Amino acid sequence: MTKPQHTVIFQPSGRRGKVEDGATILEASRKLGGSIESVCGGKGTCGKCKVKIEQGRFHKYGINSSIDSVEAIAAHNEEFLTPKQLRDGYRLACQTHIHGDVVIFVPEESRKAQQVVRKEATARDIKLKPAVKKYYVEMPPATLHDSLGDSERLQAALASAHKMEGLKVDYTVLTTLPGVVRQEDWKATVSVWKGREIIGVAAGKKERGYGLAVDIGTTTVAGYLCDLGSGEVLATDAMMNPQVSYGEDVMSRIGYAVKGKNGLKQLQRAIIKGLNEIARRAAAKAGLRRTDIVDMAVVGNTCMHHIFLGIDPRNLGRAPFTPAVHHSVDVKARDLGLKVAPGAYVHVLPIEAGFVGADNVGVLIAEEPYNQDEMVLIIDIGTNGELIMGNRNKLLSSSCATGPAFEGAEIRHGMRASPGAIEKIKIDPKTKEVEFKVIGNDAWNTGTKAIGARGICGSGIFDAAAQMFLAGIIDKGGRFNTGIKSDRLHNDGDEPEFVIARAAETAIGQDIVVCQKDIRAIQLAKGAMYSGARIMMNKLGIAKIDRVILAGAFGSYIDKMSAAVIGLFPDCDPARVVAVGNAAGDGARMALLNTDKRAEADKRAREVAYVELTIEPDFNKAFTQALNFPHQTDEFPHLKGILPEQK
């Protein structure tokens, strides 16, 4: 029996359509484009999906909307909504089912903001040895006396002009070959993959080949369109990972993928559609067509890797966290639904361990710590923190669940790095007055001008914690110093909070604050990173790190001193802390342009020893000590004179 359908209208976007009886408001939003934030992926644990059920007769739409049109799961709603909000018709979109026509208002703070995707390619010296090379051939025309098949004729020409023999021919090449070879009088350019297979043939002389390197992040996806002959990046394109609406972090994605029969398919379709769009846009920027792309290299964390390839990711989420495959994978792009050259392959880089994925291998081959003498710590900060430590003698990797705090989730006024997000904060240690800067506005706020702040993003959260610590608003243990005199310090609620932006400076009409719970979330996230690094140092038997590399787009935007002051990593000379941008994407580019790098990735990924932090006997102690700002017992000689004196 088919279920009844109800009309749903989202405000203020005006998106509307029909959904089946019993669907949640969040599901309706995904279907109709209501753009509701869903940080926890609809599990009812983040409280970010608050919406208001409008009541009354809506003549414009010809419907009556009422709170009786929905049925909410009481427990979750009561956890995140005040009694007044519940009375006013607010509900959690993911925990409320639709049973009648309804008009839903999505308030500003629950609207999914377009993340600012900052993943520029970094200038790197890359030796060129692409997997796909182009060969120009001239064939003798077919005659009654020489009626060799077109494919064999092409092979013979390749053998005589370029000494290439016994090549496999991709089936799609055959489908167009007769027309192509005759189009320019038996002159053609052949794309050959790894010297083994003809993956494309074009009429005439077209010796330039193009490839796309892709970094699939949990939150953002970036593509770099490269000239395979010169290595030049011709165009870059990026977008938010379209899977974000199914859950913010990898665990929610795994949860969604294994839910129902179509979860994995839906997620895979979403990313493939996104990549097709990136390929289209990047090609258009370079004056090309998507089908001019003859090779692709892809990196992503283990979960993104599995979903991209359509592999069930459930085992990644449970001990012993085994991936389906460690080794790199070459797969026909068309088999995944990618609309590049029909014969093209996609090279997916290898995986190191359960949570240390191909993105980390990208960082590894881009930074090459295995060729260095100094002790390097590479930190890739994301929803999941990944660490590599060591040098040419030994390399360790580990991963730690930082939680989404650094990306702005689970923080009272946290948000993604999108316009209006406070990204930099300075606090005067004497007056406790605050200056801040929001994304999309170059001017620093001076406390008077309304600059429309909407929340605080990851880099702002680093600054907030560091600056509050340096100004004595919080102590080494993260506790608020409630004795200080400042009208920005509120002690009246359940927990103390410090006002970063006053209501008049915001677009949400209320103070943007950092509260005790937020500081705790930051401590947990940074403590996970620090303790991971500490355990790796102990394993390597080293007392100091020579260099810290902050990888990941996020690493380029956080303030290095703020990261050092809160204790994201053990002591290191600040001059030797460097941000390298999207090293994972750079690694993908290197693998695209140089097959030796692909071999290097397979070899090095297997050499790195993975440390499962949570089973280390001293993990709990290391973690507890690392919760302090910057650490309970470790010394920070390089921060002398910067850190406040502690009693």
Interface residues with ligand FES (CB under 6 A) are: 38-40, 42, 44-49, 92-94
44 or 458: CB nearest ligand FES: 44
Sign of the C-alpha dihedral computed for residues 141, 145, 146 and 148 taken in this order: positive
The least distance separating ligand FES from the CB of residue 95, rounded to whole angstroms, comes to 6
Query: What whole-number distance in Å separates Cα of residue 176 and Cα of residue 155?
Result: 16
52 or 194: CB nearest ligand FES: 52
49 or 545: CB nearest ligand FES: 49
94 or 264: CB nearest ligand FES: 94
Query: What whole-number distance in Å separates Cα of residue 544 and Cα of residue 272?
Result: 43
65 or 77: CB nearest ligand FES: 77
Query: What whole-number distance in Å separates Cα of residue 438 and Cα of residue 389?
Result: 34
The least distance separating ligand FES from the CB of residue 104, rounded to whole angstroms, comes to 14
Residue written as tokens 């792009």?
333
The least distance separating ligand FES from the CB of residue 34, rounded to whole angstroms, comes to 13
47 or 223: CB nearest ligand FES: 47
Q: 198 near 181, Cβ under 8 Å? A: no
Tell me the β-bridge partners of 216. 221, 300
Displacement of CA 244 from its chain's centroid (Å): 9
248 or 571: CB nearest ligand FES: 248
3-state SS assignment for residue 300: strand
96 or 582: CB nearest ligand FES: 96
The least distance separating ligand FES from the CB of residue 406, rounded to whole angstroms, comes to 18
Residue written as tokens 């920070």?
636
The least distance separating ligand FES from the CB of residue 255, rounded to whole angstroms, comes to 12
Displacement of CA 646 from its chain's centroid (Å): 37
Query: Where does 86-138 show beta strands of DSSP type E?
Result: 90-92, 96-98, 102-105, 132-138
Query: What whole-number distance in Å separates Cα of residue 37 and Cα of residue 287?
Result: 35
The least distance separating ligand FES from the CB of residue 24, rounded to whole angstroms, comes to 9
189 or 243: CB nearest ligand FES: 243
39 or 104: CB nearest ligand FES: 39
Residue 119 CB-half CA count within 13 A? 28
The least distance separating ligand FES from the CB of residue 414, rounded to whole angstroms, comes to 13
The least distance separating ligand FES from the CB of residue 266, rounded to whole angstroms, comes to 17
Query: 265: which 2 tokens?
Result: 């398919």
DSSP state letters, 226-295: EETTT--EEEEEEEE-GGGGG-SSHHHHHHHHHSTTTHHHHHHHHHHHHHHHHHHHHHHHTT--GGGEEE
- The type of residue at 396 is L
77 or 402: CB nearest ligand FES: 77
The least distance separating ligand FES from the CB of residue 244, rounded to whole angstroms, comes to 12
The least distance separating ligand FES from the CB of residue 552, rounded to whole angstroms, comes to 24
- The type of residue at 247 is G
The answer for residues whose C-beta is within 8 angstroms of residue 70's C-beta and 6 or more apart is 25, 53, 91, 96, 97, 98, 99, 100, 102
The least distance separating ligand FES from the CB of residue 88, rounded to whole angstroms, comes to 18
Query: What whole-number distance in Å separates Cα of residue 125 and Cα of residue 170?
Result: 33
Query: 211: which 2 tokens?
Result: 């490839």
